[in-house]
Amino acid sequence: MTNEKETIAKLSDFGVAKYVYASSRYLNTTIAGTQQFMAPEVLFQTGHSTNADVWSFGMTLLNAYVGDTIFRLRGMRALNSISHFKKDAKEIIAKTLEKNTFARPDMIQLFRYTWFRDNACFERIQKLIHSQTGKYLNLPCER
């Protein structure tokens, strides 16, 4: 992500994916996936919802920036020690890695940040969501 204008991120490995309605109050208790990317509530089997995916997304962003999941080793200090982080990116990653699942934003809230909207692939995300749901993410930007 050092050259954001030309970067194309592709994520895979959804072998353990499961469709869960965002409005569902059901909490999953099963563990599957890569530990370094698991939310605390998944690791400790306290029950998890779609917000666990937000944590994993944050870990993916962090890994893309620094090439490692140093958060596990050094906590939030890891974010502050990385000088090449853009302020918005650091803020977004910090919010996605909030240990309290109820304080963590959902993906719709994350897409309101200008960092996503100013990114070249936001339009692609819009098209993908529209092709799957028939809807657009017409959200006001935060800040």
Closest C-alpha to 91, from 79, 108, 73, 74: 79
Rounded to whole angstroms, what are the CA distances from 128 to 68, 122, 131, 132, 134? Answer: 28, 10, 5, 6, 9
Reply yes or no on whether the pLDDT at 139 is more than 60: no
Q: What does the alpha-carbon distance between residue 23 and residue 2 come to, in Å, rounded to a whole number?
A: 36
119-126, long-range: CB within 8 Å, 24+ apart, which pairs?
Answer: 119/4, 120/4, 120/5, 121/8, 121/9
* Shared-domain flag, residues 81 and 24: yes
Asked if residue 143 has pLDDT above 50, the reply is no
Residues 43 and 71 in one domain: yes
Domain that holds residue 60: 17-104
Asked whether residue 67 falls in the same domain as residue 36, the answer is: yes
Interval 123-137: pLDDT, tens:
776 776 667 677 666
User: How high is the pLDDT of residue 134?
Assistant: 72
Q: What is the CATH number of the domain that holds 27?
A: 1.10.510.10
Give yes or no: residues 40 and 93 share one domain.
yes
Is 11 part of any domain?
no
Query: What angle is formed at CA 40 by the lines to CA 117 and CA 80, rounded to 5 degrees?
Result: 55
| 8 located within any domain | no
Report the distance separating Cα 130 and Cα 83, nearest Å.
36
Say yes or no: 127 and 80 in one domain.
no
| Prediction pTM value | 0.62
- The helix/strand/coil state of 103 is coil
Same domain as 53, residue 30: yes
Residue 10 located in a structural domain? no
Return the top range by mean pLDDT from 3-12, 17-26, 106-115.
106-115
Q: Are residues 30 and 97 in the same domain?
A: yes
Structural domain contains residue 132: yes
**98 vs 102: CA distance, rounded Å:** 9
Shared domain check, 128 and 76: no
CA–CA gap between residue 112 and residue 99 (Å, rounded):
21
Instruction: For residues 96 and 118, state if they share a domain.
Output: no
Number of domains in the chain: 2
59 lies in the same domain as 95: yes
Same domain, 98 and 117: no
